[in-house]
Structure 1
Amino acid sequence: MAELRARPSAWRPAALALLETLGRTEVEVSDLGGSNLVLSVGDAEVLKLAPPIYAAPLAIEAEALRALEPFSSASGGSSPCAIPKVLASGTFQEWSYLWMTRLPGAPILRPQALGERDLACVARAAGAWLAALHDQPVKVFEHVPDWRAYLERHVPGAASRQARWGVPHAIVAEMRARLEHLDLDAVTSGAHALLHADLHEQNILVDARVRLTGVVDFADATVGDPLFDLVTPALLIGRGRKTVVRALFDGYGSTRLSKIADPVARLVDYAILHPFNDLTRILRWTGQSAETLDDLARLMFPLD
């Protein structure tokens, strides 16, 4: 996608032609950056474009957002903040597109630049938002994957992926053994919820006072174990800081977590298999070393 973004001639004509069919002919269009091709359309709208090979995530996001429209604070729902509203989606000249409202606020591009108090407030708000999300009724989806399918896709290569990122060999060996004994029947048997599944700092929008204003990018949404949704914010917002990680879990609710037997063990499993979580980063952020998986777990989830 980065190569595609670097060649506006490959996508800009299609974007402008599409916007003309959508009735947006006199608006400024600019690339907002990020891992996807996301274009601002004036001040109030956003257009996501994807070539055929990346069509599936856009279909997932459109379906999840439509299901969650009543949940958004913009619609008077129980969400503590806004989520995008889908204006249109489909295909145009072989491009998949998702046209939606633009939310107020800006992503947290550099969490390390914020004070721990501000980050803890963001983490607590993110935890509360996840709790509200997980209370939403779950429907049968066409594109959003179910939990077993999600796990079966990501478990097999998880330890090798962490090895490529540079996790020490001894810890990778522990990861392999751990995942070999992961009981998918047990993991998939509990209550499920619609998950965002990638709630990192760039998908959380805040205002100038660092208050949560919106959550974006539902392209990785799945239906599964609610605990999975705590892994990414714990790692990428918490970054090993006990105060921030605890704020996330406090916002989510201690009552919810108390119903789970050994939640940290399950969080570690999910941290290993999450497709985007390079666990070497926690070593860099904390300046600590880890000789065992337990050492790494204490850095990722400092809850004791």
Structure 2
Amino acid sequence: MSRIVYVNGQYVPEDQAMVSIFDRGFLMADGVYEVTTVLGGKLIDFHGHAARLTRSLGELEMAPPLNAENLLQIHRELVSRNGLDEGLIYLQVTRGAPGDRDFSFPDPAKTPSSLVMFTQSLPYLIDNPAAKRGLKVISIDDIRWGRRDIKTVQLLYPSMGKMMAKKAGCDDAWLVEDGLVTEGTSNNAHIVKDGVIITRHLSSDILHGITRAAVLRFARSAQMKVEERAFTLEEAKAADEAFITSASAFVLPVVEIDGAPVGTGTPGPVAAKLREIYLDESLKTAI
């Protein structure tokens, strides 16, 4: 059965979905996106993703196509129509298709924003083998633009970073700027030293991860110590543990950086505990 996707007000089979060649997301990467996880047919952290979407749109002076309640209805409809039990819903908003290419923004009264959404079935999100074996990462220079807090669709360099890691026989890359780790290519980076969870503070240097925020909140509730500050690559290599957080990974341990083992070189107890807590608490509040 063909997957049903949402394109600007219509639910259509994926092979019939079309977006204009003049869409500014295609021509200018002039768009933002969100990815919401689905577990047991329910949405994880939907309201957090909706709030971040609103913020991203506001930072780019882009008109929101729908309100959060309407978006929630479409998410649920896509889950239902596609029989999605475990996976993701991808949402993308662009500045629309003005009918020609121009660096200047089109008048939003004449060119409405474009909204597309689709599901991805991923049956091994919870039972991800990487949770038991851990991830190997490399470090690369962070040469992205300065507004990483806006979740834009300009993902070329993160994609290149993923490929650099694969060519090196690793899983991912951590981005480094002025000797300090910013984040992973598609996730937030964390280390653990002497029982303290350390992760970069929020600023325009990193994406304000929805899963990051939830994990830190749960960690503090569990009486774990958390420090939100920048840390060096050398600190990361000397850490007792390291891990990443993201909507699709939840919490995954990092066991190697640039060929050097982190801690014992095996997944550590803090990452394992945080993954357990996150999944337990998130499933309780899924909608």
Which one has a larger percent strand, Structure 1 or Structure 2?
Answer: 2
Do they fold alike, i.e. is TM over 0.5?
Answer: no
